[in-house]
Amino acid sequence: MAVPVWQSPVVGGQALAGHVNQLLGTHPTVFLYSGTLQSYASGGSGSASSDGLWLAQKFTSGASQTAVGYVTFTSTVTGSPAPWTISLQADAGGQPSGTPLASVQFPKELAASSVTALLPAAVTASAQYWIVAEAAGDSGDYFSWAKSSAANGALTSPDGVTWTSQSYGLRFAVVDQSPVTPLIGIVEDGGARYTLLSWLGNYGPAGVQEFTQGQTSAGYVESSRALSYSGPLLTGVA
């Protein structure tokens, strides 16, 4: 049977058939672990804004890399923009191809200081790819992607089609799908729902963040929980 679309119940709202139907199908799930760092750029100062601009940063896959698991980069949020769409795209003539190999939405609640975008996709070793962030928000509501110390590597576009080279790079790290513990994230239905995990040593998860595309006024549901321990014992969830 076809995979049902995720639907999130609304407090005080009417129960819908989709709330039950989504449990009757098999939801494709990918488990992503800490993995192995394959490419990165750091340092620098300043940032590039998502207000009216698509942002793209190129990277080259590792010499034996066959898959991307997730990418990270430093970010900030101004105001209350709608979720930011981040994708992984192949190269086409020195710019993003326009066809996402993987895509995920990132809400403002999960982008206050950094983005961990779960983008599981197969790649070819030693080939050029792009991390692409779609335009989002307006002059008072937008995301910012921190610049790196590189003198090039970033592109901007007003529409995701016509790209302009910039004299700066953007910070990023690309990690593969090596089964190196701990578990970092769980992706369901191609990014329609995902879970991010952080860990406290060997005790257990320190934080759990979830995102689900849903039928709410914001268009999604996000939840975050912080776990506390006394030694190896879980003592609280906030």
Q: What is the DSSP string of 69-127?
A: EEEEEEEEEES-PPPEEEEEEEESSSSEEEEEEEEEEE-GGG-SSEEEEEEEEE--TT-
Write down the pLDDT at residue 65: 98
Task: Report the distance separating Cα 209 and Cα 229, nearest Å.
Answer: 18
pTM of the complete model: 0.88
Burial class (CB in 10 A: 0-12, 13-18, 19+), 86: buried
Give the pLDDT score at 1.
38
pLDDT for 4 equals 53
Contact 79, 137 (CB under 8 A): yes
Looking at residue 3, what is its pLDDT?
A: 52
For domain 35-175, the CATH architecture is: Sandwich (2.60)
pLDDT for residue 143 = 97
Task: Print pLDDT tens along the chain (238 aa).
Answer: 345 566 666 667 776 666 666 656 667 899 999 999 999 999 999 999 999 999 999 999 999 999 999 999 999 999 999 999 999 999 999 999 999 999 999 999 998 889 999 999 999 999 999 999 999 999 999 999 999 999 999 999 999 999 999 999 999 999 999 999 999 999 998 888 999 999 987 778 899 999 988 756 667 889 999 988 887 788 888 8
- CATH 2.60.120 range(s) for the chain read 35-175
